[in-house]
Each structure stands twice: as structure tokens, then as C-alpha cells.
Amino acid sequence: MVEKRSWRGLKTGEPAEGDILILGVPFDGAVSNARGAAEAPANLRKLTAMTPPVSEEGLDLRKLIIADRGDVNLDPEGGSYFGRVEKEAAALIATGKPALFLGGDHSVTIPLGRAFAGHYSPKPVGMIHLDSHCDLMDSYDGQRWSHACPQRRFLEHENVLSKNLVMAGIRNYEVEEMEFLRENSAITVINSREFYTRGHKEIQRQVIEVLKDVEAVYLSLDIDVLDPAYAPGTGVPEAGGLSTRDVIELVREIMCNLPVKAVDLVEVAPVLDHSDITSWAAVRIIYEIFATLVATKQ
């Protein structure tokens, strides 16, 4: 673990007193294209030093206590990295408090999701997957732990049913994934064009309706759900994506209306970015998540 970092103007503390628990997972060893996402946790924290503790609507975030547990770093002597990530995540999830995980590439959702599903088993849990890709491959480039596989791995848990997986912002499919979706038609897939044709408010209502009865929800946000105009700094950018406004609105509604207990934000790659556009978008999303938690305290 690295030394804990301060967030400008926000109260920080230990998990017992924190309102949200944060853990960095700086790993990008399972990408299929450009690396760089391992740098994201450090860069996101750095940018918070320039971010005032106020939401976009002027909500004072200083009422929130942040418990930043640092990062799960790679062991230079080897060992199971994903095993350690799962153990650290399980400890945070066991507190019952909301947890925010900073990736890292999307493969980190595999151990994080295992910790999440394991904690709530056998009660049903839901997953909201905001991404341009389905990430439903059984394996990719010969790896079952690739960043193209996290939702396939999540569905392998006995308390994760196909009907409780919602994928939004999708606009790229592998042929194998299309076949899997045909065989698992209960999965809700909302492609990115639907945000344009149906409007984000209708999408928000649909997502909430699908998952209203589950015990707990995991929100996995791949920054490439955003159009590259809003998030160029990611390993596999896909044209035709959502705006930052679309994502913020959807995330706010999800946080306010569903039992979201864990969030991961992945695939931000600072080395591929320009003027930190992508990292700044991620920071704004994080602070609006904070705002929803402050609102529940009032």
C-alpha cells in the first residue's frame, strides 16, 4: 500500500469513520492495446489538489469524510496480485460503506467483482457496466483475466443473474459476444445510439427499473464509455460515445436511486491523454458521486 493522499479541502479519516472508502488498483497488465492506466490513481489524486470541495451545483462536500486506503501495488517478488486486490477490496466492502476503486485497466473488475459478489452471496447483486465494449469474452489473447473479460467472469458467480447485468453506452462487439448475448437475452444492453434517439432520462428510468429489487449494485465505469472528444486518454477509444454530461446525469441517478455499494472507475490512461482532459472528466464524475453521498446525509 502507498502512503494515503489528501483530497483538497475534504475531511479524511479511517474506514471506521469514513463515508466513502477509496482504494487504488494501478494495474494495466491485461490490456489489448496501449498501456498507461496504471498511472491513473496517482494522477487522479494529484488533480484533486486543484479541485475545490464543491459539487457542480454548489453543494459543500466538506461534510463528507474520505478514507483513502492508498494503492494495492505490484509485489516485486511476484505473488498473486489479483488475490491481494480481492482481499483488500473485501475488507472495504465488508464495512457496508460505499467503496470507490480507482483503476487500472478493466481487468481489475475481476477481483473486485469477486470480492463484491462473495460478500453478498447468496443474495442477488446487480452490475451496471458503463463502457463502449461488452467485456464479455471468455478469453482474449489467450487470457481469461483480460480487460475484455470482466463481465463474463462476473456472471460466473452464483448470485449474479443475467437479468441483473445492465450494459450501457455499448458500441463495439466481438462476434463471440454477440453470440453470448443471443444465448443470454436477459442481459440488458443499451447501445450508445439509444442515448441519442431515446434521451438520457428514459435510459436512467430503464436502468433503475431493471435493478430496483437487487440486494446491492456494483457500478463499473470504463472511461471509454465517453466519446473520445471527451476522453481521448484511454487505451481503446471508440467514436460515437456519450458526453460527459450524459454520464454524470446517469451516474447521479443511479447513485441516488439504487443500492450502489461499490464503484470502479477504470481505463483512464494519463500517458495517452491531452491536457489531462480524460483525468479531469474522471475527477468531475468522482466529485459528483461524492455529492450524491452528501445529499443522503442531509
State pLDDT tens for residues 81-112. 999 999 999 999 999 999 999 999 999 999 99
- pLDDT recorded at residue 75: 74
Q: Indicate whether 69 belongs to any domain.
A: yes
3-state secondary structure at position 3: coil
Domain count, the chain: 1
- Residue among 169, 146, 166, 155 at smallest CA distance from 235: 146
Q: Indicate whether 6 belongs to any domain.
A: no
State pLDDT tens for residues 159-175. 999 999 999 999 999 99
Q: Domain with 52 in it: what CATH number?
A: 3.40.800.10
Q: Indicate whether 2 belongs to any domain.
A: no
Q: Indicate whether 53 belongs to any domain.
A: yes
- pLDDT recorded at residue 54: 95
3-state secondary structure 169-198: EECECCHHHHHHHHHCCCCEEEEHHHHHHC
As a dihedral over the C-alpha atoms of residue 205, residue 207, residue 208, residue 211, rounded to 10 degrees, the angle is 150
State pLDDT tens for residues 230-255. 999 999 999 999 999 999 999 999 99
Joined together, the cell numbers standing for residue 15 give 474506514
Q: Indicate whether 285 belongs to any domain.
A: yes
| Residue spans of the chain under pLDDT 70 | 1-6, 76-79, 298
- Asked if 41 contacts 71 with a C-beta cutoff of 8 angstroms, the reply is yes
- pLDDT recorded at residue 78: 53
Q: Indicate whether 3 belongs to any domain.
A: no
- Asked if 150 contacts 109 with a C-beta cutoff of 8 angstroms, the reply is yes
* Domain limits for position 92: 11-297
Give the chain's length: 298
Q: Indicate whether 5 belongs to any domain.
A: no
